[in-house]
């Protein structure tokens, strides 16, 4: 007997779960009086990290973000397999993409575990974890788009041009937001709010990339076969 398991839900959940977790943690922290009330994507009254440092939101953040990291690791493993099934070569680019994705997931766990801990060492681990999570995730996303565009140019008509353009727009927006953080960090005196706005929107753009992958997986009918032998 055989059955087909649709894997698109996993890419969708890779994007939706962290989005739901950080926003739910913010609401819980705000209701608990730990962070101010605002629309953080536009007003930047608090950082993402601040939503998971105290009270009930501390446990909610960790309980949600560690599974998110596990999903992220599985997502990049499946992306590698997906590219090979589409006809890509198991070369350096694909292997590097998988390695960077797995490292990003590991550093997301590091950041989450040390969030809320006090002391210079724990602060260093948090900054180290979140910085490398964003950096390695971005590089893996660039490599994935590069391989998909290469396959499209080689005639793989299963891949939608419009969704590839959307992925490219997301990466360009990530670059613009990331570059914006440089003058904010170096030349603006009151940098707290603008830096938080950058952080919230950078995270939103990054996890939106996985939702676009969900649509690509659906278009290419990416799935797994479950079998039972008698």
- Euclidean distance between CA atoms 157 and 190, whole angstroms: 50
Domain ranges of the chain: 2-227
Q: Please give the biggest Cα pair distance in the chain.
A: 71
Please tell me the predicted confidence (pLDDT) of residue 93: 94
Please tell me the predicted confidence (pLDDT) of residue 6: 85
Tokens representing 186 are 């170096």
Tokens representing 203 are 């995270």
Mean pLDDT, each 10-residue run in order, the chain (230 residues): 78 96 96 94 92 91 96 97 92 95 96 84 79 94 96 83 94 92 74 89 95 94 78
Please tell me the predicted confidence (pLDDT) of residue 189: 65
For residue range 87-99, list pLDDT tens digits in order: 998 899 999 999 9
- Sign of the torsion angle spanned by Cα atoms 139, 141, 146, 147: positive
Q: For 127-158, give the secondary structure using H, E and C.
A: HHHHHHHHHHHHHHHHHHHHHHHHHHHCCCCC
> What is the rounded radius of gyration, in angstroms, for the C-alpha atoms of the chain?
19
Tokens representing 224 are 């797994």
Please tell me the predicted confidence (pLDDT) of residue 70: 97
- Euclidean distance between CA atoms 8 and 6, whole angstroms: 6
pTM for this one? 0.92
Please tell me the predicted confidence (pLDDT) of residue 9: 93
- Euclidean distance between CA atoms 194 and 117, whole angstroms: 25
Tokens representing 42 are 């536009």
For residue range 46-100, list pLDDT tens digits in order: 999 999 888 999 999 999 999 999 999 999 999 999 999 999 988 999 999 999 9
Alpha carbon 142 to chain centroid distance?
13
Q: 10 Å Cβ neighbour count for 4?
A: 10
């Amino acid at each position: 007997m055989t059955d087909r398991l649709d894997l698109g839900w996993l890419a969708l959940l890779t994007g939706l779960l962290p989005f739901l977790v950080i926003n739910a943690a913010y609401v819980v922290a705000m209701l608990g009086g730990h962070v101010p009330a605002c629309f953080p994507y536009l007003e930047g009254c608090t950082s993402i990290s601040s939503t998971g440092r105290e009270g009930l939101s501390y446990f909610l953040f960790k309980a949600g973000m560690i599974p998110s990291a596990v999903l992220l690791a599985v997502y990049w493993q499946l992306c590698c397999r997906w590219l090979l099934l589409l006809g890509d070569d198991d070369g350096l680019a694909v292997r590097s993409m998988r390695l960077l994705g797995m490292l990003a997931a590991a550093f997301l766990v590091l950041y989450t575990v040390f969030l809320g801990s006090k002391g210079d060492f724990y602060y260093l681990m948090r900054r180290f974890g979140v910085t490398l999570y964003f950096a390695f995730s971005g590089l893996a996303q660039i490599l994935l788009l590069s391989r998909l565009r290469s396959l499209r140019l080689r005639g793989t008509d299963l891949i939608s041009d419009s969704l590839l353009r959307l992925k490219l727009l997301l990466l360009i927006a990530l670059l613009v937001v990331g570059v914006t953080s440089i003058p904010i960090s170096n030349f603006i005196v009151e940098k707290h709010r603008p830096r938080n706005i950058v952080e919230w929107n950078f995270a939103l753009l990054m996890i939106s990339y996985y939702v676009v992958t969900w649509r690509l997986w659906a278009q290419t009918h990416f799935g797994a076969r479950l079998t039972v032998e008698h």
